[in-house]
Amino acid sequence: MHAGVRTGIHTGLRWKLSAAIALVGALIAVALSLVVHNAARVSMLDNARDLADERVLVAQRNYDLSGRVNFPNAQIDDPELPAELRRKVADGRRATYVTDRPDGVTDIWAAVPLKDGHVLSLHTAFTDRSSDILKDLDQALVIGSIAVVFGGSALGVLVGGHLSGRLRRAAAAANRVAKGETEVRVRDALGGVVRDETDDLASAVDAMADALRQRLEAERRVTADIAHELRTPVTGLLTAAELLPPGRPTELVLDRAKAMRTLVEDVLEVARLDGASERAELQDIMLGQFVTRRVAAKDPGVEVRVVHESEVTTDPRRLERVLFNLLANAARHGRPPVEVTVEGRVIRVRDHGPGFPEDLLAEGPSRFRTGSRDRAGHGHGLGLTIAAGQARVLGARLTFRNVRPAGAPEQVPAEGAVAVLWLPEHAPTSTGSYPVLPLPGR
């Protein structure tokens, strides 16, 4: 695993939002259920105590009139009378009291002092009907809480799904912009009528992409202008060097002048490819025969193997440019033998050197980068950049990988580098649009 790569559990925004709403809904439902349950129980207990107070008052009047206890559940000087209630009655007050038994049953007590000094008390249990009402209320609260949680979760999924979908469309459009599709607008990819923060983000990304595109275009024009202005004096320098008398100094001057001319021509070609105005001039060719002839003319020492011949419609000049640049890169940075394989519409160029640098495998060719120290060598680093640009004009795809023993980890040194050119099944149109490219088979 590369350093700096963060790992963790990846979850979608809709599920995070749904979980948050469900959690908040559950907490609110539990809190409200407890409050409602306690309020209902307190209210029922207050009603029961008021009823007990009225009944003990009636029992007192009956006792005063008849001189005996003739009211249900009423007693004189009940020994089980709670001590606290007894103290209140001793002060000459009528009072009520609530106690809870160990088995969970609630008792309602009411007591009143009599004229003869005794205490008349009334003892009743919390009615079954009240308990049933509380149970029904608790059941309704539980069902309501579950409904709130599931309803909140469903709402979170809907809202989160909508927001997540907009963000995913924005990310997909931003990736297309990053790959060079200059006409893509993130704001248009979002769609919709209602505007929110994602539209502001999309507008900011579009503005940044426009500014970056303008800056790159300006840099491309400056590079092309400089290279164009250098072409004339470099050509004159090369012509003048050819007029020098033969000798080692003349050879050195000619070599450097030719290298400078090659560099200027490459920079101009890269500038043209960056401008996205290049179009392929299409012809029908037999790919195996074409590659065999061109490689034999360029370097007879390179082995060409045609596994499966195929007729393709492409631009021979640009295809030759891609092929020669890949061969030059293999000869410069790799080690022999260099092998070229043609299989259908796929061309593979392999060397047996130390392999491509990791940054090239991860990011693709970059101008003025010659590779790692193992594949350093001479050159200005535009060969693979031009090859990738010409492949793009052809509607093809150019990929790079290193060859390692089967099952070997990445730390094991590579046994060679492979560049693979995937030609499309259908040639690019005259407008420069590209067909769907095939996925690599291996």
**What's 96's domain CATH number?**
3.30.450
- Please tell me which residue, 316 or 200, carries the higher pLDDT value: 316
Q: Indicate whether 199 pLDDT > 50.
A: yes
- Please tell me which residue, 370 or 231, carries the higher pLDDT value: 231
Q: What CATH number is attached to the domain comprising 206?
A: 1.10.287
Same domain membership, residue 312 and residue 402: yes
Predicted confidence (pLDDT) per residue in 282-307, tens digit: 888 899 899 999 998 888 888 889 99
pLDDT of residue 68: 77
7 located within any domain: no
390 located within any domain: yes
Average pLDDT rounded to a whole number, residues 322-341: 88
How would residue 267 be classed by pLDDT, with cut points 50, 70 and 90?
confident
Same domain membership, residue 353 and residue 231: no
Q: What CATH number is attached to the domain comprising 408?
A: 3.30.565.10
Average pLDDT rounded to a whole number, residues 168-173: 79
62 located within any domain: yes
- Round to whole Å and give the CA distance between 183 and 442: 33
> 301: which 2 tokens?
């020492």
Q: Indicate whether 163 pLDDT > 70.
A: yes
The last residue of one of the domains, among 234, 255, 277, is 277
435 located within any domain: no
How would residue 223 be classed by pLDDT, with cut points 50, 70 and 90?
low
Q: What's the 3-state SS for 79-92?
A: CCCCHHHHHHHHCC
Specify the residue for token string 């490689």.
295
Predicted confidence (pLDDT) per residue in 14-42, tens digit: 677 777 877 887 888 888 888 888 888 78
The last residue of one of the domains, among 123, 151, 179, is 151
Same domain membership, residue 217 and residue 95: no
- Round to whole Å and give the CA distance between 378 and 255: 13
Average pLDDT rounded to a whole number, residues 240-249: 80
Same domain membership, residue 303 and residue 329: yes
132 located within any domain: yes
Q: Indicate whether 194 pLDDT > 80.
A: no
Q: Indicate whether 353 pLDDT > 70.
A: yes
The percentage of the chain sitting over the pLDDT mark of 90, rounded to a whole number, equals 4
Same domain membership, residue 314 and residue 236: no
239 located within any domain: yes
Q: Indicate whether 75 pLDDT > 60.
A: yes
pLDDT of residue 4: 43
Same domain membership, residue 266 and residue 131: no
Average pLDDT, the chain: 77
Specify the residue for token string 């209602």.
194
The last residue of one of the domains, among 238, 262, 277, is 277
Same domain membership, residue 201 and residue 337: no
- Whether the CA torsion 232, 236, 237, 242 is positive or negative: it is positive
Same domain membership, residue 307 and residue 204: no
pLDDT of residue 348: 92
Q: Indicate whether 9 pLDDT > 70.
A: no
Average pLDDT rounded to a whole number, residues 298-319: 89
353 located within any domain: yes
Query: Structural domain of residue 336, as residue ranges?
Result: 281-368+381-428
Same domain membership, residue 267 and residue 132: no
Same domain membership, residue 233 and residue 308: no
In the chain, the number of structural domains is 3
Q: Indicate whether 192 pLDDT > 80.
A: no
Predicted confidence (pLDDT) per residue in 76-90, tens digit: 877 888 888 888 888
- Whether the CA torsion 183, 279, 321, 250 is positive or negative: it is negative
pLDDT of residue 292: 92
pLDDT of residue 123: 80
How would residue 436 be classed by pLDDT, with cut points 50, 70 and 90?
very low
Q: Indicate whether 67 pLDDT > 60.
A: yes
Alpha helices, DSSP H only, in 118-247?
A: 128-178, 186-190, 197-242
176 located within any domain: no
Same domain membership, residue 295 and residue 233: no
Same domain membership, residue 295 and residue 417: yes
Q: Indicate whether 106 pLDDT > 70.
A: yes
